[in-house]
Every structure is written in C-alpha cells, then in structure tokens.
C-alpha cells in the first residue's frame, strides 16, 4: 500500500450512556493498518462519560497512522441525528466510518479493504456485511451468506430503493452496514433533523435514490455482540419518540418517490399508512384483511430468511479466526478494557 497516495479516512464513534464495550471498539480502531485516519469519539450528554480513561487508552495504544484524535462531550443531550451531524461536520476525511460504541472492526485491514472497494468501484456509498458474535464465536452474518447472490441482483437504483422501502433487503440496507464519502452526505444536506432519534432509514433512502451505491456482501466489516449490541437484531429501543418517528416515516417519508415505484412497493407503503392511521381494532383488522396477500408474502420472506441463515454456519466454520483476532482479544482481555 502506497501511504502517500491514500486519502484520509474519518472514523467516528458516538456514545450515549452505555460503555461496557467501548474500549474494545477503540482498540479495534487503533489497530487498523490503514496509513492515515482520524478518530472522533463524541458523547451526547450522558453525564458519566469516562473521559480520562478514554484519553489515557488512546495515548497508550495509538500508532503513527492515527493523524488526529478528538474527544467531544456534549453538555446536554441533543439527540442522535443532531449529534451525528455535528460530528460529521468536523470530519476531515474523504471516507466516513461510523462504528458504534460496542461494535468492533472485523479485522485489522477493514478500513483498507473498504477504501479499496470505494476506489475500485468509484461509488459514493458502500454497503457491506456484519457478523454477530457471542463470547468468542461468530453466530451469524447479515446479509446471510445464502442471500449474497440475491443481494447482488439488486443491481439498479430502483431495485435497491424499493427493497429498502419494503424492508425486503436481506439486512444489508442498515446503518451498521454502510460507509460513505463525506461529499455524498454533504450533497444530501446531512441527516434529516426533523427526526431526533431515527437517522438511518431516511438517509439510506436518499442515498440509494440519488447517489452511486455499491453492494459488497462478501466484505464483512463489523462484529457486533449478539445479545446487547446496538447493531444486533435482538437490541430494541422502545423509546416513545423513536416509535413516533418511525410511524411518521412510514406515513410520510416513504411517499417521496411513490409515483415512480412498482406496484408491490406502493402496496407496502399503502399498507403502512393504513395500518398507522387505523382508528380502532376493527378498522385495523379490516386493513390487515384487505392486504392479506401482502402480509402472507412478507411472512414467507421472513421465514425464508431464517432458513437461509442456517447456511451461515458452514461459512463460519471455514473462517480462520486468527485473521479476526479482535474477536479473540475481546473475549480474553475484556476485563483489561474496563
């Protein structure tokens, strides 16, 4: 790798209250082999952020390729979307790597591999895969290995956007699987601050519609803890603000390109609106009955994903864990990072 020719990458970690695995996240960033990156860690007004511990950890473990480090602490909570935009505007790198405070990079060369994929494809937004772990074992991969060929067939803007809107996207169009050029976010006017907590879906839809995207499911970039990780399927926030924002997006946000979408995607949007606006249980039952074929189709899709997921085990058995030493380090040294 010719260091002088590589553009600066920006890695950001946003936190709020939960720091159980934050030092594992930081360790996986500082051990990257990419020749030039900056790292910004920012806490959104938690009140108990371990600032001194973090500063000492970075000073002890950083290497020469860390060109700039900033530690930010908001005096009060501003919400996920404003917090993210505030940090993005301070990034100097061409590529943005947003890694949650309890996720870890998959291997030491993850940033290098992602930048290479950007440079090879010329894309503005890259969607990859993430793997779930428990203890020191990888449990499953999203998108599932058996779906990688289906993911690659989402080869037009319309197919990708529709799959994201219908949530029939095999788990690839989520924030934890996405890296992007800062210029793409600037063109889109940053994340939509009419939302406070719900940042991913509105921006992903914008990027899929307007920017050049690339899908690379064979590139596994992130490891997340299966039971409690922010990127994990079992982690749910029942924050009433978030619930209302999701409802708002389903009713209004998905309508932006409605006339240009296929009938199947329009039906999904119609069902979402009717479901969210049903006045009572009887009306909701009528809506569900009217859209029963769509509901059956979506249920079948979800069941098939569970079956396809079984194929991940064979792929995982072939992985050489010595190449993914962050996972082993996390299992053996967790107590040292706390």
Tell me the pairing of strands 95-98 and 103-105.
unpaired
Q: How distant, in Å, are the alpha carbons of 154, 170, 177 from that of 149?
A: 9, 11, 17
Tokens describing residue 10: 């920006």
- The string of pLDDT tens digits covering residues 171-189 is 999 999 999 999 999 999 9
pLDDT attached to residue 1 = 44
pLDDT band at 306 (very low <50, low <70, confident <90, very high): confident
List the domain boundaries for the chain: 8-236+312-337, 240-307
Kindly tell me if the per-residue pLDDT of 235 is higher than 60: no
Quick one: 8-236+312-337 is in which CATH superfamily? Spore Coat Polysaccharide Biosynthesis Protein SpsA; Chain A (3.90.550.10)
- The string of pLDDT tens digits covering residues 116-155 is 999 999 999 999 999 998 877 888 999 999 999 999 999 9
- For residue 6, which of 126, 122, 110, 116 has the smallest C-alpha distance? 116
Q: CB within 8 A of 225, min separation 6: which ones?
A: 21, 102, 103, 132, 133, 134, 232
Kindly tell me if the per-residue pLDDT of 52 is higher than 60: yes
Query: How distant is the alpha carbon of residue 222 from its chain centre?
Result: 9
Do residues 164 and 204 lie in contact, with contact meaning Cβ atoms separated by under 8 Å?
yes
Global pTM value:
0.91
d(CA 80, CA 197): 5
- The string of pLDDT tens digits covering residues 57-79 is 999 999 999 999 999 999 999 99
């Amino acid at each position: 790798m010719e260091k002088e020719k590589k553009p600066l990458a920006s890695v950001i970690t946003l936190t709020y209250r939960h720091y159980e695995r934050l030092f594992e996240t930081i360790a996986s960033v500082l051990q990257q082999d990419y020749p030039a990156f900056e790292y910004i860690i920012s806490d959104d007004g938690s009140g108990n952020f371990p600032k001194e511990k973090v500063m000492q950890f970075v000073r002890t473990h950083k290497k020469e390729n860390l060109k700039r480090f900033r530690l930010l602490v908001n005096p009060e909570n501003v919400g996920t979307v404003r917090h993210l935009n505030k940090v993005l505007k301070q990034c100097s790198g061409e590529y943005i790597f947003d890694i949650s405070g309890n996720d870890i990079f998959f291997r030491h060369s993850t940033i290098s591999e992602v930048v290479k994929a950007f440079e090879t494809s010329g894309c503005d937004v890259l969607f990859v895969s993430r793997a779930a772990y428990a203890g020191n074992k990888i449990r499953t991969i999203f998108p599932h290995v058996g779906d990688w060929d289906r993911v690659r067939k989402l080869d037009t803007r319309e197919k990708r956007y529709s799959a994201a809107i219908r949530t029939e996207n095999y788990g690839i169009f989520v924030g934890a699987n996405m890296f992007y050029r800062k210029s793409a976010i600037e063109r889109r006017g940053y994340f939509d601050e009419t939302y406070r907590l719900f940042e991913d879906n509105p921006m992903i839809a914008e990027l899929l519609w307007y920017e050049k995207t690339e899908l690379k499911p064979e590139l596994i970039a992130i490891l997340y803890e299966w039971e409690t990780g922010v990127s994990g399927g079992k982690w749910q926030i029942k924050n009433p603000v978030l619930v209302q924002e999701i409802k708002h997006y389903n009713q209004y946000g998905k309508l932006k390109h409605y006339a240009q979408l296929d009938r199947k995607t329009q039906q999904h949007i119609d069902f979402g609106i009717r479901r969210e606006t049903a006045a009572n249980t009887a009306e909701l039952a009528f809506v569900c009955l009217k859209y029963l074929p769509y509901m059956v189709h979506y249920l079948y899709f979800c069941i098939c994903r569970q079956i396809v997921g079984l194929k991940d085990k064979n792929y995982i058995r072939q992985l050489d864990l010595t190449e993914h030493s962050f996972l082993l380090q996390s299992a053996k040294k967790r107590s040292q990072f706390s």
